[in-house]
Amino acid sequence: MDRRTFVAGAALAFAATSVRAQHQHTPLPQAAPSADPFANLRSGAPHHITPDEQAQRVTDSPAPQGPPGKWITRAALPLPRSEMAWATAWAGRIHIVGGYGEGRVDRAYHHIYDPSADQWLNGAPLPRGANHVAVAADHGRVYALGGFIEQNRNPDHNAYAYDVAGNRWDKIAPLPRPRGAGAAVVLNGRIHLIGGASEPTMERASVGWHEVYDPQADKWTTLKALPGARDHVGCVAYNGVIHIVGGRFNTFEYNTDLHHVYLLDRDTWETRTPLPTTRSGHGLVVYRDRLFAMGGEAGIVRNGQITQGKVFGQMESYDPSKDTWQSHAPMLTPRHAVGAAAIGDWIYVAGGGAVTGGSVQSAVHEAFTLT
What is the residue-averaged pLDDT of the chain?
93
What pLDDT, on the 0 to 100 scale, is given for residue 9? 43
**Cβ neighbour number for residue 1 with a 10 Å cutoff:** 6
Per-residue exposure over 268-298, b if at least 16 CB sit within 10 Å of its own CB, e if not: ebeebeebbbbbbbbbbbbbeebbbbbbbbb
What pLDDT, on the 0 to 100 scale, is given for residue 296? 98
Distance separating alpha carbons of residues 357 and 229, to the nearest angstrom: 21
**Cβ neighbour number for residue 265 with a 10 Å cutoff:** 7
What pLDDT, on the 0 to 100 scale, is given for residue 2? 44
Distance separating alpha carbons of residues 357 and 234, to the nearest angstrom: 18
What pLDDT, on the 0 to 100 scale, is given for residue 23? 57
| Containing structural domain, residue 321 | 3-369
Distance separating alpha carbons of residues 25 and 301, to the nearest angstrom: 45
What would the pLDDT profile of 271-296 be if each residue is shown by its tens digit? 999 999 999 999 999 999 999 999 99
Distance separating alpha carbons of residues 312 and 164, to the nearest angstrom: 33
What pLDDT, on the 0 to 100 scale, is given for residue 24? 64
Q: Which parts of the chain register pLDDT below 70?
A: 1-24
Q: φ and ψ at 38, to 5 degrees?
A: -135, 150
Q: What pTM was estimated for this model as a whole?
A: 0.93
| Strand ordering across the sheet containing 365-369 | 70-73, 365-369, 346-350, 339-343
Q: Identify the bridge partners of residue 142 per DSSP, sorted by sequence position.
A: 137, 162
CA dihedral 250, 256, 259, 261 (to 10 degrees): -10
Task: Characterize the bridge pairing of strands 305-312 and 57-58.
Answer: parallel
Q: Residue 264 to residues 28, 190, 224: CA-CA distances in angstroms?
A: 38, 12, 10
Q: Which amino acid is at 204?
A: R
- CATH label of the domain that carries residue 229: 2.120.10.80
Distance separating alpha carbons of residues 208 and 191, to the nearest angstrom: 16
Total tally of structural domains belonging to the chain: 1
Q: Nearest Cα to 335, choosing from 286, 274, 294, 289?
A: 294
